[in-house]
Structure 1
Amino acid sequence: MKKKVKKQKKYGLVGKDISYSFSKKHFTEKFTAYHFDNCEYLNFDISSIKEFPEIFAKNKGLKGLNVTIPYKEEIIPYLDSLSKNAKKIGSVNTIVINKQKKLIGYNTDFYGFKKSLKPLLESHHTKALILGTGGASKGIAFALKKLNIEYDFVSRNPNEFQISYDEIDSALFEDYSIIINTTPVGTFPNIEDCPKFDYSLLSKKHIAFDLVYNPEESMFLKKAKEQGAITKNGYDMLVFQAEKSWKIWNKK
């Protein structure tokens, strides 16, 4: 009897300057370990979101995509629909291409972050400062809301509802015990960079969480650790959100 040939399935990451990508390595290793010989994961490094439709013209058999900086918000007009959570968040990091070739956007960032932060939380961790206001920060804010943690955004160009880096002082850090860097500042190769504020204001009662995972210990985390803060990089969050993406892509 003739062995049934499995249909080739393609997945990939849409982003800019993503040669360092976690996703490609993670999924390629997963496909090898579990003998998913018919699955392939590619990097789609595009310099403008306008190039997004070309990905489909050149790649038949695409089943799912991940989306990273800087396209998590810009991608939305190119999608046919959004999940309930992605709509609320206003940011997409996972796309399903269904049988009708419709593109459906999801957000698994909030799930990955929530699962990664939860074990670190103690009773005094009730308020968070989110450094950055890009697409990644929206998923973080949504997760904090689910954890009943109050939050405010810190921005280099704050609007009336946001805090500027110059306003970070001891009174603010007395109030906010979780500091989350959602900006790409400090990512390889610019490993000497970090968000600009007085790190001596941090203490052992603080959690410093960096979405950056390359390098493993960013300058932000290094400086926070020197002050006794609990530190965590974005690696576990990425693993959790990637596995959630895989489940969504393979929902029957």
Structure 2
Amino acid sequence: MKTFGLLGYPLGHSFSKKYFTEKFEKEGLADHEYVNFELDSIDRFPEILDYKHEVYGLNCTIPYKQQVMQYLDDIDDEAYEVGAVNTIKFIREESGRIELVGYNTDIIGFENSLMPMLSEKHKKALILGTGGASKAVKHVLTKNNITFVSASIEELQENEIGYDAIDETMIKDHLIIINATPLGTFPKVDACPDIPYNALTSDHVLFDLVYNPEITKFMSNGIEKGASVKNGLEMLHGQAEAAWKIWNED
């Protein structure tokens, strides 16, 4: 049995487990399984190496995208630059040694999902949230020469602002607005970041990393003003397929 899985805590309803289990069934991979490794501490990571079947790859989610890096033998350049890993490949050598290599496929998923929505006028972005999910977002924006500022409820760091600094002028000046917080996720579907949505226009692009529900409150506020909107499902599909490709590369 070839095992793949998801590392995180808590996991609850897992997109990855459902996605890959259905993928294995569809492709007739009866000798493949996908397991949720719901570990309450990253200190328990070595337990995965002793799993009853050989593990060949992991997806990694909150809160371990950074913490897991200490256990890896090598890290892809982009993942290292971002400072977070969401995909781990297990390279099993004939000697029995296992080499763990980290990647960040959130970069691929987000870039391929966001960029087709943009035009020449989209040069400035406002990122709502400064957690782990925002790291790949910042990397993609920088890579594509899009300037950005991040809104945070924590102690402010460089290039960060508080939500009270987001006024109508800032909204009108930043035509890309990205929700990198969990606000609006099922079942709390009436929640959304506190920004002046009345300043939105049809020139705005609103991207929500949340994918459940399909249309979040953040997105519906944009739709009311004629903005282009997208949720995080396409990004999730993209990062999952990129991970699958990495796991199967020689």
Compute the TM-score of the two structures, normalised by the length of structure 2. 0.94
Tell whether the 8 Å contact from 2:168 to 2:196 is kept in structure 1 after alignment.
no
Tell whether the 8 Å contact from 1:73 to 1:91 is kept in structure 2 after alignment.
yes
Amino acid at match of 1:208: L
Runs of 4+ in 1 over 4 A off after TM superposition: none
Unaligned runs of 5+ in 1: 1-7
Per the alignment, residue 114 of structure 2 pairs with 117
**CA shift in 2, pair 1:200/1:41, >3 Å:** same
Per the alignment, residue 156 of structure 1 pairs with 153
Which residue of 17, 21, 33 maps to 1:28? 21
Question: Structure 1 vs Structure 2: percent identity of aligned residues?
Answer: 48
**C-alpha displacement at 1:56, in angstroms?**
2.3
Provide the rounded CA distance (Å) in 1 between the counterparts of 2:41 and 2:213. 26
Tell whether the 8 Å contact from 1:186 to 1:193 is kept in structure 2 after alignment.
yes
Per the alignment, residue 185 of structure 2 pairs with 187
Query: Secondary structure of 2:10's partner?
Result: coil
Query: Secondary structure of 2:13's partner?
Result: coil
Pairs aligned (count): 245
Alignment of 1:1-252 (within 5 A): 8-99=1-92, 100-157=97-154, 158-252=156-250
**C-alpha displacement at 1:115, in angstroms?**
0.3
Provide the rounded CA distance (Å) in 2 between the counterparts of 1:51 and 1:192. 36
Tell whether the 8 Å contact from 1:91 to 1:136 is kept in structure 2 after alignment.
no
Range 71-80 or range 22-31, more displaced: 71-80
- What RMSD, in angstroms, separates the aligned Cα atoms of the two structures? 1.3
Provide the rounded CA distance (Å) in 2 between the counterparts of 1:104 and 1:59. 21
Tell whether the 8 Å contact from 1:114 to 1:147 is kept in structure 2 after alignment.
no
Provide the rounded CA distance (Å) in 2 between the counterparts of 1:28 and 1:243. 13
**C-alpha displacement at 1:60, in angstroms?**
3.1
**C-alpha displacement at 1:172, in angstroms?**
0.9
**C-alpha displacement at 1:90, in angstroms?**
0.3
